[in-house]
Structure 1
Amino acid sequence: MFQDKITMYGAAWCPDCRRTKDFLEKNQIKFEYINVDVSPEASAIVEGINKGKRIIPTLIINDQPYSNPQNHQLSKVLGINKQGTTVLFGADWCPDCRRAKRFLQDNQINFKFVDVDTTPQAAEFVMSINKGKRIIPTILINETPYSNPSNAVLTEVLELDKAADQRIYDVVIIGGGAAGLTTAIYAQRDKFDTLILEKKNIGGNAFITKKIENYPGFKEVSGPELMDRMAEQAITLGTKIETGEDVTSIEKTDDFFKIHTYNGSFKGKSVVIATGSTYRTLGVDGEAELIGAGVHFCATCDGAFYRDKEVIVVGGGNSALEEGMFLASFCKKVSIVHRGESFSATETYIEKLSSFSNIQTYLNHSVTAFNADENGVFQSATLKNNLNESFIDLKANGVFVFVGLQPNTQNYESLLNLSQSKHILTKGLNKTNVDGIFAAGDVRFGAIAQVAAATGEGVVASYGVREYLTK
């Protein structure tokens, strides 16, 4: 059997690695997995591929590298569709190959094209299928070969008349974090057919939180464990979850909403937007160029690269101090830089700082630039003393920025009313200005960026959905 050679470099704590592994396994794609945390050689390979940046997952597919590919990109590269995998063996000069390729493209079927003229293994495979004959195109659909199939045969085999998902869900939830999962749990308990579309991995920002100490009922719980429990509950109740579905737009029709993604479209009688937020950047010189090459926004995700090294944390809120103390548990030294004269975090976090001998604080200091070494990797941050306007160059191996969050609403600016900060404006029961669309969690104006608060947001949104659907 003709097989792609796929090697995936990743780590257990990486949400995108988990998403990618789930996607490959779901589609029965064979691959070799290498954990960069336990293999320094693998870590070096990843950095070499990505010009010094530690980007995971990094995949090598038939000697071609792909840095953190999204599911729809992998679908195109590997020929993955809802009907299964499709591989077309052919040649550029072959008229029937061009006809088959055009037919698949016109019907939006992802397929992998393998040129038998340049791939001896593929030529041998085609001949073995066709009893010694070199018949092209030979198309492999779910590992079943079809020798020069007509368009009519392809239509039947690929069930093109049945390929579109005509199911209309009672509620489609965009985002699989705490708010989205809670909405799904309550909606399914109300017997509403529910679908969650998640761009990356279920769990949102909570999934990449190492330790949660303020969620009711748990003295301490890891973000992945809590989110996995919520997802399991939602699925047990009947929720369908699709990961790797990056929503591009929402279209309102007379009878339902059509939610468009890179992979296709879905239909729902109501929609809940729970897309959460992403970390804000500082916007200083050198930041954009060094993201992934020493500048990071998630200690749980990238902290392991800096074991026994020195790092800088920028920020003064709960997240900055919490992540700073997490880094201090295995880094040689952590320098926390905050522009104010005192931290804005709660007293609980401030009091804990004194128990770490390897944490140094720089209050009344602002970052003005991130500086790279001769290899284009972060080596220091330029700090301005806000009291006397002097400057210092603070050296470190890496820097983690925690200066707040920005809502993920860029795809809804023309559809929904947003605040000046780009949060979705809502009224009672989390209703937006579009009847049938609701918002929940960090994406909503006035929401509190805490996991416990996000679950409450989901409850409120579910009541809005119930009222709308039972009219």
Structure 2
Amino acid sequence: MNNILLYGADWCPDCRRAKAFLNDNNIDYTFIDVDLDKEATLKVEQINNGKRIIPTAIISGKSFTNPSNVELSAVLGINEVGRVQLFGADWCPDCRRAKNFLKDNSINFEFIDVDENEWATAKVEEINKGKRIIPTVLIEGVAYTNPDNVSLTELLSINVEKEHKVFDTIIIGGGAAGLTTSIYAQRDRFNSLILEKKNIGGNAFLTEKIENYPGFNSISGPALMDKMEEQAKTYGAEIKTGEEVVSILKKEGLFNVETKSTTFLSKTVVLSTGSTYRLLGIPNEKELVGSGIHFCATCDGAFYRDKDIIVVGGGNSALEEGIFLAGFCKSVKIVHRSSEFSASKTYVEKLEAIDNISTYLNKTPIEFIASENETFQSLKVRDNDSNKEELISADGVFIFIGLIPNTSPFKELIDLDERGFIKTTGLAETSVNGIFAAGDCREGAIAQVAAATGEGVLASYGIRNFLK
């Protein structure tokens, strides 16, 4: 459990103040009297560079020297509506989204990193019936699993006022295409707003290593997306995460972009909503998502350190993520329904040199098998030649079999192709005048970061022509 340590002495006024504050807010802690414990005195001196300063508190492994009540409120998540604790990890996109939302609305919260605190991982599993789901948020001790911004607004009684500012362009989606569109629009002196359902960076943020983006021999997806976000903000772009767009209507010459929480106004709209991971569509798949079935190695791979995992797929993404997972997993078993991988030769050659990767080619997944605890246990596959079935056991499975465009909210608004991708002409123009599309959601798009940035530039030129 999270054992808060407070080093102090009974004669110390600030120690008494800190103790009273913790008691008043029903915070469990252990008080260690430095007058009675010589090791405690040495610990305080070690923390404070040889100085005996009390009170000194240790919270979630971090030390705080004579923290004020305001500082204690901030680090422990104490608010008028109650105490807020967020269990998560720095690599988790939804954790970043929740943290940004709480910060933007001046909500104090205690962030507890599950990677740094074993007790936190156990707590998350206890709350979620064995599932390692983050973020998990506790508000006054009541747990909420991955609450969206709308839920947090209601739970924390946050007062959200409607936006009346009219933007030159609203960009729906904060991946490489959306960020690039914003950068170019801002340079043209057009004010832009990025609305992102989850976290800035899109699928590129979930990529462990990018080796084909010009200017970088190798860079992590999060690092590259952070640079793009920083550049967009430097030019003046506004960014709001956790804002899921539900409809777009044109009234009196302006686009009304409605999210689950409010409405924004704009002269133009850019759809850069990207895509989501495709499912296999076999028994027990949906039931086991989050309980052993995953779609993002960067997000969930850390849970399987020194364990056995399965990767399903045979394209670039499957092999790239499989190689990444092999770096810290005990073994990686790659299952592909065809007799040959469709990935580039570069990835296939890398695969052959890694000892803890084995391949299961020409085998079609037909069912996920659950354990007694209702978590993933094994994958049943059928050999395409012999029709013989076998079980492949592992601790977890990652699926990389393609993407589906995130365009369903707009199917009645603009023209889509038979697969759901947005049809465009000219400068990224859709069938609706003033609405543009860029990135993986667009028909004919190349699912690469470099291509997405180019499409963002194209969309920005479409905006410029429309507004001028």
Scaled by the length of structure 1, what TM-score is found?
A: 0.82
Counterpart in 1 of 2:119? Answer: 41
> Does the residue aligned with 1:80 lie in a helix, a strand or coil?
coil
> Does the residue aligned with 2:408 lie in a helix, a strand or coil?
coil
Give 1:264 deviation, angstroms. 0.6
Counterpart in 2 of 1:5? Answer: 83
> 1:95-244 residue pairs with structure 2 within 5 A?
163-244=161-242
Counterpart in 2 of 1:448? Answer: 446
Give 1:453 deviation, angstroms. 0.6
Counterpart in 1 of 2:66? Answer: none
**How many angstroms apart in 2 are the aligned matches of 1:347 and 1:252?**
48
Q: Deviation string for 1:392-449 (max 9, x for gaps)? A: 1000000000000000011001111111111111111111100000000000010011
**How many angstroms apart in 2 are the aligned matches of 1:77 and 1:2?**
12
User: What is the number of residues matched between the two proteins?
Assistant: 390
Counterpart in 1 of 2:404? Answer: 406
Counterpart in 2 of 1:63? Answer: 141
1:374 aligns with 2:372: yes
Counterpart in 2 of 1:77? Answer: 155
**How many angstroms apart in 2 are the aligned matches of 1:52 and 1:385?**
32
Q: Is the 8 A contact 2:335 2:360 kept in 1?
A: yes
Q: Deviation string for 1:37-74 (max 9, x for gaps)? A: 12222112111211222110001111211111111110
1:309 aligns with 2:307: yes
> Does the residue aligned with 2:170 lie in a helix, a strand or coil?
strand
Q: Is the 8 A contact 2:422 2:430 kept in 1?
A: yes
**How many angstroms apart in 2 are the aligned matches of 1:304 and 1:344?**
27
**How many angstroms apart in 2 are the aligned matches of 1:404 and 1:310?**
23
Q: Which runs of 5+ in 2 are unaligned?
A: 1-78
Give 1:33 deviation, angstroms. 1.3
Judged with a 3 Å threshold, the aligned counterparts in structure 2 of structure 1 residues 2 and 242 are, in CA distance, closer, same or farther, namely closer
Give 1:351 deviation, angstroms. 0.6
1:339 aligns with 2:417: no
**How many angstroms apart in 2 are the aligned matches of 1:38 and 1:340?**
40
Give 1:165 deviation, angstroms. 2.2
Q: Which runs of 5+ in 1 are unaligned?
A: 83-162
Counterpart in 2 of 1:256? Answer: 254
2:322 partner amino acid: G
State the Cα RMSD in Å. 1.0
1:51 partner amino acid: K
**How many angstroms apart in 2 are the aligned matches of 1:32 and 1:171?**
36
Q: Deviation string for 1:330-352 (max 9, x for gaps)? A: 00000000011110001111110
> Does the residue aligned with 1:272 lie in a helix, a strand or coil?
strand
Q: Deviation string for 1:139-185 (max 9, x for gaps)? A: xxxxxxxxxxxxxxxxxxxxxxxx44221111110000000000001
Give 1:19 deviation, angstroms. 1.1
Counterpart in 1 of 2:63? Answer: none
Counterpart in 2 of 1:98? Answer: none
Judged with a 3 Å threshold, the aligned counterparts in structure 2 of structure 1 residues 348 and 342 are, in CA distance, closer, same or farther, namely same
1:43 partner amino acid: T
2:199 partner amino acid: N
**How many angstroms apart in 2 are the aligned matches of 1:431 and 1:404?**
25
> Does the residue aligned with 1:428 lie in a helix, a strand or coil?
coil
Give 1:3 deviation, angstroms. 5.4
Aligned match of 1:25 in 98, 103, 112?
A: 103
Give 1:238 deviation, angstroms. 1.1
Scaled by the length of structure 2, what TM-score is found?
A: 0.82
**How many angstroms apart in 2 are the aligned matches of 1:166 and 1:8?**
32
1:69 partner amino acid: P
1:358 aligns with 2:356: yes
Counterpart in 2 of 1:422? Answer: 420
Q: Deviation string for 1:90-141 (max 9, x for gaps)? A: xxxxxxxxxxxxxxxxxxxxxxxxxxxxxxxxxxxxxxxxxxxxxxxxxxxx
> Does the residue aligned with 1:430 lie in a helix, a strand or coil?
coil
> Does the residue aligned with 1:400 lie in a helix, a strand or coil?
strand
**How many angstroms apart in 2 are the aligned matches of 1:439 and 1:317?**
26
Counterpart in 2 of 1:113? Answer: none
**How many angstroms apart in 2 are the aligned matches of 1:73 and 1:453?**
35
More off after superposition, 176-185 vs 191-200:
191-200
Counterpart in 1 of 2:28? Answer: none
Q: Is the 8 A contact 2:81 2:156 kept in 1?
A: no
> Does the residue aligned with 1:325 lie in a helix, a strand or coil?
helix
**How many angstroms apart in 2 are the aligned matches of 1:401 and 1:31?**
34
